[in-house]
Amino acid sequence: MIMKRAIILSSGGIDSTTCIAYAKNQGYTCLSLSFDYGQRHRSELDAAKKVAAYFNVEHHIFKIDIDQYRGSALTDTNIDVPTAASYSKTDIPMTYVPARNTIFLSIALGFAEVYKIGHIFIGANAIDYSNYPDCRPEYIQAFQAMANLATKAAIQGEKVVIETPIIDLTKAQIIELGMKNGVDYSMTVSCYQADELGRACHDCHSCAIRKKGFEEAGVSDPTHYVK
Amino acid sequence: MIMKRAIILSSGGIDSTTCIAYAKNQGYTCLSLSFDYGQRHRSELDAAKKVAAYFNVEHHIFKIDIDQYRGSALTDTNIDVPTAASYSKTDIPMTYVPARNTIFLSIALGFAEVYKIGHIFIGANAIDYSNYPDCRPEYIQAFQAMANLATKAAIQGEKVVIETPIIDLTKAQIIELGMKNGVDYSMTVSCYQADELGRACHDCHSCAIRKKGFEEAGVSDPTHYVK
């Protein structure tokens, strides 16, 4: 039997932290799942760990080096492989990780099956990141349809439900939801280039969205900045 | 532009090796992609490497330790985590890796996007492994629908096509197709517990299916057996 338990994908940022607080207050026993996928800074993982401890939920870090895509094993001649140097100049920005949510949700799906967990929360948001295809409601629905056919548990009637409580909210609304559910956002890190203490740069796109969110929510910004 | 290039998921067994031979003869430039996911024996990866060299295709091994699911990080008390010992006694057989094809296809999808590859071949087969949910045509169709929404490339019109040329074939028909396309099956390993030289046990379920396939195809069995 699937009990009211949930995996929450956690990056230590505003969106996933809000999901943890929300799910916990909805009565779920939560497992926070973070990915060590070769991201630039460890502070994201440190923040996710702090958040999990704060909410007293299990935390697991799954290691998967997505950067292997650009690894040196692709050295033969049949395929015209872009070099690491040329890759960074293509139209795919370095902050876009190909198929990231699909890979993360797939791993979470395996996790859910092993531990008989019925819900996966993902802090996907279609408002502030509308150019990320794998944050849109239609993508999530398609993943759900696939997941319903993918596992033994699912075909035996124990489907895993992908939960996206903040998919249609603005950043300000997400912050309001989190505050209502007891989030202390000073623990969270959003910056693409936070330092090892988790202090934000104040300059990147992610910092700008975060700052605007606090302003619009009328909440004083608790972010630790480098400057 | 997406050229006629394909990623072939390769386990070094009959099914995926047949897919490599078939795709190559269909004119695809192939990248063979294997997963080092904590499987018991390295001989599977050795076989995949041999096969790739035989067909002169690029080979990449992607490391992902799926066994982290059962890792020691899950030690806290909020979730009733089965121990490794109890896990092996559940109704999930050890040969079933939860959400495996979903995880592998998702990673291949990321690979395809990075290198602008338009096709992913998977040797899924619904006949001999009909109890694996993620080998059925309806699952593959659902994955395709999800993939069509998942990536930047897809929403820009460069969809990746999931190809399953052997999904409806019997093992004997797969072997016949492979022979027609130049496969030397003595390179391949199917056994769940092959030794380090790739020699098959002759006893496991996978050995039995393989042996029956050669018998029904009327082909002498080239398998290297331990005994």
Separation between Cα atoms, residue A26 and residue A6, nearest integer Å: 11
Give B11's pLDDT tier (boundaries 50, 70, 90): very high
In sequence order, which residues have a C-beta less than 8 Å from that of residue B56 and are 6 or more positions away? A78
User: pLDDT tens digit string along B103-160?
Assistant: 999 999 998 988 889 999 999 998 865 578 899 999 999 999 999 999 888 888 889 9
Smallest CA–CA distance, residue B150 to chain A, in Å, is 5
Average pLDDT over residues B74-89: 36
**Are residues B87 and A114, on separate chains, in Cβ contact within 8 Å?**
yes
**Which candidate in B103, B105, B135 is best for mutational testing of the A interface (most A CBs within 10 A)?**
B103
**Backbone phi, psi, residue A222, to 5°:** -90, 10
At residue A87, the 3 state secondary structure works out as helix
**Are residues B31 and A78, on separate chains, in Cβ contact within 8 Å?**
yes
- B3 token code pair: 């050229």
pTM of this prediction?
0.88
**Residue written as token pair 């992610």:** A206
Smallest CA–CA distance, residue A150 to chain B, in Å, is 5
CB B90 within 8 A of CB B62: no
CB A16 within 8 A of CB A8: yes
Chain mean pLDDT for chain B: 84
In sequence order, which residues have a C-beta less than 8 Å from that of residue A159 and are 6 or more positions away? A118, A147, A148, A153
Separation between Cα atoms, residue B129 and residue B14, nearest integer Å: 13
**Are residues B98 and A110, on separate chains, in Cβ contact within 8 Å?**
yes
CA-based nearest residue to B29, from B106, B112, B103: B112
**Are residues B139 and A150, on separate chains, in Cβ contact within 8 Å?**
yes
User: pLDDT tens digit string along A76-107?
Assistant: 333 333 333 333 334 444 456 688 899 999 99
pLDDT at B45: 93
Smallest CA–CA distance, residue A186 to chain B, in Å, is 25
Residue A117 with chain B: CB contacts under 8 Å:
79
Say which of B63, B76, B148 has its CB closest to residue A68.
B63
Smallest CA–CA distance, residue B227 to chain A, in Å, is 34
**Which candidate in B33, B75, B106, B111 is best for mutational testing of the A interface (most A CBs within 10 A)?**
B106
CA-based nearest residue to B12, from B183, B135, B169: B183
Give one DSSP letter per residue of A7-50, joined into a string: EEE--SSHHHHHHHHHHHHTT-EEEEEEEESS-S-THHHHHHHH
Give A69's pLDDT tier (boundaries 50, 70, 90): low
How far is Cα of residue A31 from the mean position of the Cα atoms in its chain? 14
* CB-count burial class (<10 Å; 0-12, 13-18, 19+) for A111: buried
* CB-count burial class (<10 Å; 0-12, 13-18, 19+) for B72: exposed
* Residue A69: count of CB within 10 angstroms of its CB: 21
Domain covering B3-67+84-185, topology: Rossmann fold (3.40.50)
**Are residues B92 and A152, on separate chains, in Cβ contact within 8 Å?**
yes
Average pLDDT over residues B25-50: 90
Separation between Cα atoms, residue A78 and residue B154, nearest integer Å: 24
- The DSSP bridge pattern shows strands A161-163 and A3-9 to be unpaired
Residue B100 with chain A: CB contacts under 8 Å:
110
Q: Determine the residue of chain B that is closest to A24 in CA distance.
A: B78
User: pLDDT tens digit string along A167-212?
Assistant: 999 999 999 999 999 999 999 998 878 888 889 988 888 888 899 9
Q: CATH top-level class for A3-66+86-183? A: alpha beta
User: pLDDT tens digit string along A4-30?
Assistant: 999 999 999 999 999 999 999 999 999
**Are residues B155 and A147, on separate chains, in Cβ contact within 8 Å?**
no
Q: Determine the residue of chain A that is closest to B31 in CA distance.
A: A79
Residue-level length of chain B: 227
Smallest CA–CA distance, residue A207 to chain B, in Å, is 23
Separation between Cα atoms, residue A105 and residue A98, nearest integer Å: 13
- A153 token code pair: 């548990």
User: pLDDT tens digit string along B162-183?
Assistant: 999 999 999 999 999 999 999 9
Average pLDDT over residues B30-35: 94
The residues spanned by each domain of chain B are 3-67+84-185
- The DSSP bridge pattern shows strands B29-36 and B3-9 to be parallel
Q: Determine the residue of chain B that is closest to A102 in CA distance.
A: B106
Separation between Cα atoms, residue A139 and residue A135, nearest integer Å: 7
Residue B152 with chain A: CB contacts under 8 Å:
92, 96, 98, 133
**Residue written as token pair 């006893």:** B203
Residue B59 with chain A: CB contacts under 8 Å:
73, 76
